[in-house]
Amino acid sequence: MSEGQLNGKVALITGGASGIGRATALLFAQEGASVAIVDLNQQSGRAVVEEIACNGGRAMFEPGDVARAGDCQRIVQRTMGELGGIHVIFNNAGIIRRTTVLELNEEDWDRVMAVNVKSIFLMSRQVIPIMEKAGGGSIINMASGWGLAGGPKAAVYCASKGAVVLLTKAMAIDHGPQSIRVNCICPGDTDTTMLRDEAQQLGEPTERFLTESARRPLGRVGKPGEIAQAALYLASDAASFVTGTALVVDGGGLAGS
């Protein structure tokens, strides 16, 4: 493959088997990175690795639950052993539950907070010493527009993504002296399986739900590849002076907030 913006870098992407994670894995590989993909869906994860390999890239897949400390340690150790370093981590894994506080059960609260927030803590705790030893790195966390403004029937999701935004800023302060940049992306509604799952959770027809989601200045929902481009920017040297930021990529959805 020709040299790209991430030539010679190793990137670890959680939730990399589908949606935004998959699009980012393909783009990072296209830009010269070796990519470690983490997901619970082994069939889809291995399919992404095969697709990258068919295009001349280098990738590996490691199954794991990033809300478990032992899995995070194993994932990082295997990535180091097989790819030789970690220069970029995209903490992209996430889930959503569309309910109010009154409708939400304790198990779902705990699981959303574990996958969306705790996983960032667990994975970052593993990779920061590696990045520090290497002289720096880029940590990208997946937040949401609903981490900056509230939304209906999404109490725990909004809480988790708001936590990601401030966790990102706190980490940027703590680890800037080691040349580790920490940023998050706040997408608007993006055309993924998770968006369609929201319609099902709310009991709404999918097409009507997608039409409502497109009501923003640009008049449409986002594409996974468009969010991947934001991740590429934050991972690359083009963002060498960018840390502690929450990059909104939402077609103008929050412009009037």
Active site residues per annotation: 157
Which amino acid, residue 203? G
Query: Is 198 in a helix, a strand, or coil?
Result: helix
Written as six digits, the tokens of 91 are 């903490």
Distance CA 35, CA 33 (A): 6
| Sheet (strand 246-249) strand order | 59-63, 34-39, 10-14, 88-91, 137-142, 180-187, 246-249
Q: Give the list of residues 6+ apart from residue 70 with CB closer than 8 angstroms, or none.
A: none
Structure tokens at 112: 């959303």
Alpha-carbon distances, residue 226 vs 25, 60, 83, 230 (angstroms)? 13, 23, 27, 7
Helices (H), 176-192: none
List own/partner pairs for 212-218 with CB under 8 A and 24 or more apart: 213/189, 214/189, 216/188, 216/250, 216/251, 216/252, 216/253, 216/255, 217/251, 217/252, 217/253, 217/255, 218/251, 218/252
